């Protein structure tokens, strides 16, 4: 506890240093830069602006509230990363969820690592760090890869080295951007997985993609069943397609009841003989505990 208090006090001392106009740090070679750059500093939230290069554009309100609750109880465990713009002005490089959640509960300061970088470096840092560290959805990752290719002029080979992923993995993400926007939104919102998207991308016509996507969502098709359905569609096998797409009638209404009761996404997979499984995804320990207490009637 004493160690944590000492670190927090040090962060506040460095924060005061940054507010001294006579010691404004603009580059890594400036006086006292070594005390600030790369160190944890307690920064006022109102001197930090959101990074326009942030790849995450969709924030789940419920997950954000859960993170805010965690921060209220435990504090910000992992500092955000910012770059210095000008005197007492900073821009987010990574950690926007922590930044938003801290503002949500009325915090005035947040622990931050400080870097000095130009816009090009900031874009690359934001994209690469978020790909590696943040819980981005598959479409956001794909968009981040595409931006690195387009704006940093990276080939897929160089991108593979930069983010530590196989080229085939990167190619699979990029292919998701060929899906109809409705399906991309569905993947971002958790109604379909990357596996579903990889199957659907093999269908050229967008209207046919959407037709099968609606079956995936409406009938809780597994990735394997989706792959079979796509294959049957490509081969003109309407008998197999109909067999795969049929689900027991008792599933339809019951699934919606579960979703309403748990206030959570629910996936139900069932065969014609009534056998199957129920899957309830969760995004954090807090959400897991909430769902568990509902199921146990607590």
Question: Does some domain include residue 225?
Answer: no
Tens digit of each residue's pLDDT (9 = 90 or more) over 107-131? 999 998 887 765 566 667 767 776 7
Say if residues 201 and 178 touch (Cβ distance below 8 Å).
Answer: yes
Residue 258 lies in a domain: yes
- What's the structural domain count of the chain? 2
Q: Looking at 117, 138, 158, which one is the last position of a domain?
A: 117
Distance CA 265, CA 145 (A): 28
Residue 202 lies in a domain: no
pLDDT at residue 29, rounded to an integer: 61
**96 occurs within a structural domain:** yes
Q: What is the pLDDT of residue 26?
A: 66
| Pairing label, strands 109-115, 276-279 | unpaired
pLDDT at 118: 59
Instruction: Supply the CATH number for residue 90's domain.
Output: 3.90.1530.10
**pLDDT reading at 159 higher than 50:** yes
Instruction: Find the mean pLDDT for residues 42-48.
Output: 91
Question: Which is more confidently placed, 165 or 22?
Answer: 165
CA neighbor of 113 nearest in space, from 78, 76, 79: 79
Mean pLDDT rounded to a whole number for the chain: 78
In a domain, 172, yes or no: no
- At 10 the pLDDT is 44
Asked if residue 139 is part of any domain, the answer here is no
Asked if 137 and 97 count as a contact pair (C-beta separation under 8 A), the reply is no
The catalytic residues are: 96
Percentage, residues of the chain above pLDDT 90: 16
Domain hosting 282: range is: 247-298
Write down the pTM of the prediction: 0.48
Mean pLDDT along residues 269-276? 60
State which of 58, 88, 117 marks the end of a domain: 117
Widest pairwise Cα distance in the chain: 78
Q: Which residue has the higher pLDDT, 116 or 237?
A: 116
Q: What tens digit of pLDDT does each residue of 24-44 get?
A: 666 666 666 666 666 778 889
What percentage of residues in the chain have a pLDDT greater than 70?
Answer: 71
Q: Is residue 102 part of a domain?
A: yes
What are φ and ψ of residue 91, in 5° steps?
Answer: -130, 135
The answer to whether residue 108 sits within a structural domain is yes
- Picking from 212, 211, 218, 177, the residue whose alpha carbon sits closest to that of residue 196 is 212
């Amino acid at each position: 506890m004493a160690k944590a208090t000492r670190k927090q006090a040090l962060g506040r001392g460095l924060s005061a240093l940054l507010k001294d106009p006579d010691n404004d740090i603009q580059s890594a070679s400036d006086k006292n830069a070594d005390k600030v750059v790369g160190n944890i500093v307690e920064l006022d939230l109102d001197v930090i602006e959101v990074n326009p290069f942030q790849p995450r554009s969709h924030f789940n309100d419920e997950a954000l509230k859960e993170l805010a609750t965690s921060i209220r109880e435990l504090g910000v465990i992992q500092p955000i990363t910012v770059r210095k713009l000008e005197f007492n002005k900073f821009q987010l490089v990574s950690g926007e969820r922590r930044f938003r959640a801290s503002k949500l509960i009325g915090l005035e300061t947040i622990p931050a690592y400080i870097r000095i970088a130009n816009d090009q470096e900031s874009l690359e840092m934001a994209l690469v760090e978020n790909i590696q560290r943040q819980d981005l959805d598959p479409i956001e990752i794909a968009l981040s890869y595409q931006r690195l290719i387009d704006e940093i002029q990276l080939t897929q080979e160089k991108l593979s080295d930069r983010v530590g992923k196989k080229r085939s993995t990167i190619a699979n993400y990029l292919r998701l951007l060929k899906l109809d926007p409705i399906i991309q939104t569905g993947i971002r919102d958790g109604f379909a997985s990357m596996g579903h998207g990889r199957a659907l991308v093999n269908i050229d016509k967008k209207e046919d993609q959407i037709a099968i996507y609606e079956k995936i969502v409406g009938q809780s098709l597994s990735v394997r069943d989706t792959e079979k359905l796509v294959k049957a569609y490509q081969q003109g096998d309407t008998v197999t397609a109909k067999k795969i797409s049929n689900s027991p009638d008792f599933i339809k209404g019951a699934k919606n009841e579960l979703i309403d009761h748990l206030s959570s996404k629910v996936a139900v997979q069932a065969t014609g003989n009534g056998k199957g499984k129920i899957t309830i995804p969760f995004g954090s320990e807090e959400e897991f505990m909430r769902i568990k207490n509902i199921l146990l009637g607590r």
